[in-house]
């Protein structure tokens, strides 16, 4: 298995590292100071992001997640996603590769009508608007799509949407102009044909943004919000694909998206390890540098081995998606969704331990990184769901002996 990058991908990766060192990482304190001055409950758009977006476009670092628009395969983009994980709050958005927009853009590319693409996909690809994905619900285990309670009922030439959603990323930001909403159009149909997805513009009457949910006390700029749909009406032309295709769309959407999440998690782990090494070399305890302590060396070594193992697993999965599609890599997609966030949590936790009080403060990125990595063990389905899928495949596997 050869993971050698093409000359084009090597060039993109090199330019991405230059962009990170020269512009993105230096912008982190500017971003944080701007938000702190306004209060973290304020979800306005920091101006530095638009400056960085313009610079990213100038450097040819735009829509790299898409083979059609960015010219990279899943395997090649995986390396770029890892680099953005070094600054996960800023870097993905400023190259127009932030979640949930990438997944929503891929969904519109695959299933949108020409009219839907013109209205929503084109502005998303230009970075002019953002979008939300409304699937998770507060009253049911939404990792099982059969539990979804939101109703989408046809009434003449319209659909009427009623229900509650939460953890809809992006909704706090006024630039979020459209939501992909999953609900049931046929509650009595076959289990995986009950669900459909419709496009709901932000300004549709009956759509209420109830509140913005913190993550371990952090309020992200774009927000993770609870929404209420009360007799929300959208035209039939806002349906994605066909009635009953919701589960299929969700599965198609999540394959590449999980690669992106996992590689960003590995990027966070790499930055945490870099901070760990720097701390170990510079901090003295009990008369000698921490780097000379056996337990510290073990933490550093274990972190390196775990990161490299996780990266190889994710690259293998990306390669399988490129060659066989998401269906051909379904077991590996489920597995890396467990492995990569867990490795990130473990490495970040060791880095926090080595930094002591500084590790849980706002003086380093580690506390926010840990909150993000821990949340990834729930996002797109909790670990237990993916472990169940891997076990089912393993139990059914035929052995050579």
pLDDT in tens, 193-240: 999 999 999 999 999 999 999 999 999 999 999 999 999 999 999 999
Mapped to the 3 state alphabet, what secondary structure does 113-158 carry? CHHHHHHHHHHHHCCCCEEEEECCCCCCCCCCHHHCCCEEEEECCE
Give the model's pLDDT for residue 327.
Answer: 87
User: What's residue 200's pLDDT?
Assistant: 98
- pLDDT given for residue 157 in this prediction: 97
pLDDT attached to residue 146: 87
pTM of the prediction? 0.95
pLDDT at 256 > cutoff 80: no
Q: Please tell me the predicted confidence (pLDDT) of residue 326.
A: 86
Position 176 pLDDT exceeds 90: yes
Contacts of 63 (CB under 8 A, 6+ apart): 69, 70, 95, 96, 97, 125
pLDDT at 380: 86
Distance in angstroms (rounded) separating the CA atoms of residues 155 and 160: 7
Residue 2, pLDDT score? 80
> What is the percentage of the chain residues whose pLDDT exceeds 90?
92
**Which strand (E) or helix (H) includes residue 167?**
strand 158-169
User: Which pLDDT score, from 0 to 100, does residue 253 have?
Assistant: 83
CA pair distance 294, 113, nearest whole angstrom: 60
Q: What is the pLDDT of residue 46?
A: 96
Q: 279: which 2 tokens? A: 């701390």
The model's confidence at residue 142, banded by pLDDT at 50, 70 and 90, is confident
């Amino acid at each position: 298995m050869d993971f050698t990058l093409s000359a084009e991908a090597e060039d993109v990766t090199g330019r991405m590292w230059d962009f990170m060192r020269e512009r993105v990482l230096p912008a982190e304190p500017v971003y944080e100071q701007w938000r702190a001055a306004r209060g973290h409950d304020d979800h306005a758009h920091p101006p530095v992001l638009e400056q960085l977006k313009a610079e990213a476009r100038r450097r040819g670092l735009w829509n790299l997640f898409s083979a059609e628009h960015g010219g990279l395969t899943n395997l090649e983009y995986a390396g770029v996603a890892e680099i953005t994980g070094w600054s996960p709050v800023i870097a993905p958005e400023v190259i127009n590769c932030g979640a949930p927009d990438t997944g929503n853009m891929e969904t519109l590319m695959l299933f949108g009508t020409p009219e839907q693409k013109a209205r929503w996909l084109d502005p998303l690809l230009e970075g002019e608007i953002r979008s939300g994905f409304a699937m998770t619900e507060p009253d049911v285990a939404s990792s099982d799509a059969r539990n979804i309670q939101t109703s989408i009922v046809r009434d003449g030439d319209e659909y009427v949407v009623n229900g509650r959603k939460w953890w809809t990323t992006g909704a706090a930001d006024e630039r979020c102009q459209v939501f992909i909403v999953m609900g049931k159009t046929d509650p009595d149909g076959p289990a995986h044909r009950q669900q459909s997805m419709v496009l709901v513009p932000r300004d549709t009457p009956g759509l209420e943004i109830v509140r913005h949910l913190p993550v371990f006390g952090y309020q992200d700029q774009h927000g993770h919000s609870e929404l209420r749909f009360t007799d929300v009406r959208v035209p039939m032309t806002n349906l994605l694909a066909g009635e009953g295709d919701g589960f299929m769309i969700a599965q198609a959407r999540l394959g590449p998206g999980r690669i992106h999440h996992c590689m960003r998690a590995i990027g966070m782990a790499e930055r945490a390890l870099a901070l760990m090494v720097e701390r170990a070399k510079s901090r003295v305890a009990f008369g000698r540098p921490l780097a000379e302590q056996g337990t510290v060396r073990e933490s550093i070594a274990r972190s390196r081995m775990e990161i490299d193992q996780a990266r190889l697993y994710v690259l293998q999965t990306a390669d399988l998606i490129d060659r066989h599609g998401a269906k051909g890599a379904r077991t590996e997609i489920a597995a890396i969704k467990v492995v990569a966030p867990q490795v990130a949590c473990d490495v970040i936790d060791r880095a926090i331990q080595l930094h002591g009080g500084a590790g849980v403060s706002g003086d380093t990125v580690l506390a926010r990184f840990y909150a993000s990595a821990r949340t990834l063990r729930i996002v797109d389905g909790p670990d237990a769901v993916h472990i169940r899928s891997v076990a089912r495949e393993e139990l059914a596997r035929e052995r050579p002996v």
